[in-house]
Amino acid sequence: MPVSLLAGYIAMMKATIEFDDALYRRLKVEAARRGRTVRELVAEGVRHVLDSPPSTANDTAAWQPAWFGSLGSYATAVDDHSMSAVKRSIARGRASGSTR
């Protein structure tokens, strides 16, 4: 699906995505097995995620690493998850001497 349509031209966007080596090898093998390109398989996966109904916290727990659950209370305690908010929180913790 084109990203945008400008005066009859299809504009495609390029993105650089970094995968760990093992995951990328699996991706290449699966693309070859399906007779598709890596680009097609990645685009299909992205469309699948975007077209799926939003997940609830319980639905996403299966893919999260075990240690991630311990951070959940911190994440739900705030509304602003921007990088600047994270940096402010770290600075406050350092200033108070908190080891949390």
- The verdict on pTM exceeding 0.75 is no
Q: What is the pLDDT of residues 38-91, one digit of tens each?
A: 999 999 999 998 898 876 655 555 666 666 666 666 666 677 778 888 788 888
Bridge partners (DSSP) of residue 10 are 5
Q: What is the pLDDT of residues 16-43, one digit of tens each?
A: 999 999 999 999 999 999 999 999 999 9
